Structure 1
Amino acid sequence: MVRETHLRVDDLIYPLFVTEGSGIRREVPSMPGVYQLSLDRLNEEVEDVLALGIPAVILFGIPDHKDEVGSGAYEEAGIVQRALRQLKKAYPELVLIADNCLCEYTSHGHCGLVRDGEILNDETLELLVRTAVTQAEAGADVIAPSNMMDGFVAAIRDGLDTAGFKHTPIMAYSVKYASAFYGPFREAAHSAPAFGDRRTYQMDPANVREALREARSDVEEGADFLMVKPAMAYLDVVKALREAFPHPLVAYNVSGEYAMIKAAARNGWLDERAVVLELLTGVKRAGADLIITYHAKDVARWLREEDRG
């Protein structure tokens, strides 16, 4: 009766990795329980998600080809675009969030165009806008740009508005740190950079005032949601954004955080259920409204069991 913070199934967003091919349900070795899914296996996973009451998914694509300009990200027949059309037709009640970045589609693995080892910010924005428009046309309810290019929210907002998608919201990865917790995701999405790292456009883990500047910039450019990524090591940043902005706030409980708990649980070192529920309740307590998490299906089952007593 006096509990101050509640974790609910409605708070959860489940990530999905969609790959080319057929008959594929391939478990990610470093992320037990998480799968790369071909389009013909995607619906069965989504039906499980909906049966558990999870209201939203975020889609990441694994293309069959990559090139210097990440063309698979913005092709009308791209893997994510096809997945969006398929899911929107079959499950109109499901909220479809489309990750917007080039890293899964570029041969060099960076989030933008590269020339002579340097990221081309402004040229990249044009391709991100094309990606967002094709995603919206395919049925995305929310566009979630994760690229961390300067000015990405303004460019995508203008592009969506011009294309007739004025009511399609932007869930901006406003505060995305250059974190060591992303390793398993890069295995799942085949998105590790071929050279260097992403520290020139992702944030220094030591900085919090910069996080507020980045979020403020995104708000001024038209972001509808703000996001902090990762979650566990950045709860102070979640709290800082909660206190500074009224916008819906998302925390991304990332792959490395998931993998650590899974590994410890498999070794009998932690009670997985108790630890995950405590962690995600802490994320909510810090101020997050929504949580992107690979634990979503497990959490939904556990919360349902609690409700049944």
Structure 2
Amino acid sequence: MPVFKIHHITRYEYDRQVRESINEIKIFPYRCDEQETRSQQVTVSTNPDIEYFTDYWGNLTGVFNVLPLHADLVIESRLVVSTQDNPARQMPYNTGFTELQKDKQHNIRLIELSQSDAIQNQAAIEAICAAITQNTNSIAGIAEKCAAYIFHHFAYTKGITNIETTVDEILAHKGGVCQDFAHLMLQILNTLHIPARYVSGYICPNKSGLRGAGATHAWVDVYVPGYGWAGIDPTNNIWVSNNHIKLAVGRHFNDCSPIRGTFKGPAKQKLSVYVSVGYEDGHIFEEINNVKMEVSPANPKVEVTDHTIAGQQQQ
């Protein structure tokens, strides 16, 4: 049972003071059998009251409002979490679309998570679907082939996409990062009417050198009849292991963005994210991402304007 100490700092800096910064945070470990929160301390600069609730997808969510004028906003999480594999749960490779249809009949959530989005290049998705379903009816087998297809046909390349990159653009780039690969896999599985959901979390580095390790990460949960929700990571072409820590789930990234919000003020903002992962042996892995997003008012004469806080792309 590995134990990880995760220190996650999100810092927004503004070139002039802003006010009424209303934020929503989803940086709390998802409640499931594969992980246990040992402790967590969340602090926000100026110490506003944080209200907590569980959202539609079952994610613990915090909301707060920083009313006074401020030139920066820092959100810090110190988390100790343990993870474990469940060897008693063996992945079934003998359940397919017949069993899936029975499970979906009266489950609105599974039906909802089986719907694909409308995109321009759906023909490319259909071609991938044909390739990964050839000679197999197994839902688990199709999920594996889907992750392998993305891993081998799309390059892991930072800097060519952002948080608003569409599936059409990912297909055109033939590359991206974990957030892009998760969205692509969702479109493929949903086209086959297989329930799947986006997962936001961390992936802790190990000796095998996983892509995206040490940073906020994204993968996919696929519903496998006879098993339930199973995590699969197309960025690394693996089923999720006890190195993955799940924070939130949803239809897309927007449903489980670690931090999102708005503020008032004609300011430009800069975002930096620091993540460190500490191990039981004392080893620490650190990563810093600087994300610049300049926002200026449409009308420079307007004194106060609403702006959305910049979000970090999951790597």
Larger C-alpha radius of gyration, 1 or 2?
2
State the TM-score, normalized to the length of structure 1. 0.25
Q: Which gives a bigger RCO, structure 1 or 2 (Cα 8 Å, sep 6+)?
A: 2
State the TM-score, normalized to the length of structure 2. 0.25
Structure having the higher helix fraction is 1
Structure having the higher strand fraction is 2
